[in-house]
Amino acid sequence: MAVRAIAFVCLRKELKKTPKGLTLTVAKFLKNVNTVALPIAKMNSETPTIEKSDCIFCNIINKLENTEILYEDDDVCVFRDIKPASDYHILTVPKRHIEDAKSLTTNDKDLVEKMLTTAKELLSKNNLSVDDARFGYHWPPFRSVRHLHLHTIAPESKMGTIARMIFMKNSYWFASPEYVASRL
């Protein structure tokens, strides 16, 4: 939350520099600032109003969709997959908009580790075994949402044939967290 506050303070300073009648969007502002992704927001006097983004996950993170948030902190947000591959299928998503696993940099190593740790903790809290779970990222171009997300599927033993194909371990289209981390 502190990062957002800093971003808005900086944004207000930028607004004072803009000619009267022009609006500065948060999206344009954040392209120049490495901070938490926010949806496009127009500034009306001193109060920001948030509009929906083209990214469904950004909308969920910013509570613009009717989605139950299972866990949230300053860096990540966790919610259920809308097409579960097993009894328990969650998505761990960074709050900062990162397009996909190929877009990660060495600066994101801690975030990737946190995403996996958070997913494992949620499994544990729901009395599910990490040993009977599948974790992974869709590898571009095989993804439906262009916002990095870690799939956590449990129990793996209850996955159907099609789900096992879609979320096939170490395939060209579904990369393990270990593989993704090794590229950073």
The confidence score (pLDDT) of residue 10 equals: 41
CATH 3.30.428.10-classified regions of the chain:
56-182
The confidence score (pLDDT) of residue 68 equals: 95
Which among 97, 138, 147, 149 is annotated as catalytic? 149
| Mean pLDDT per 10-residue interval, the chain, length 184 residues | 41 43 44 46 58 90 94 96 96 96 94 97 96 94 91 96 93 93 91
The confidence score (pLDDT) of residue 60 equals: 95
The confidence score (pLDDT) of residue 46 equals: 60
> Could you tell me which CATH number the domain at 56-182 has?
3.30.428.10
3-state secondary structure the chain: CHHHHHHHHHHHHHHHHCCCCCCCCHHHHHHCCCCCCCCCEEEECCEEEECCCCCHHHHHHCCCCCCCEEEECCCEEEEECCCCCCCEEEEEEECCCCCCHHHCCHHHHHHHHHHHHHHHHHHHHCCCCHHHCEEEEECCCCCCCCCCCEEEEECHHHCCHHHHHHCCCCCCCEECHHHHHHCC
The confidence score (pLDDT) of residue 141 equals: 84
The confidence score (pLDDT) of residue 14 equals: 45
The confidence score (pLDDT) of residue 140 equals: 86
Tell me whether residue 149 is one of the annotated catalytic residues: yes
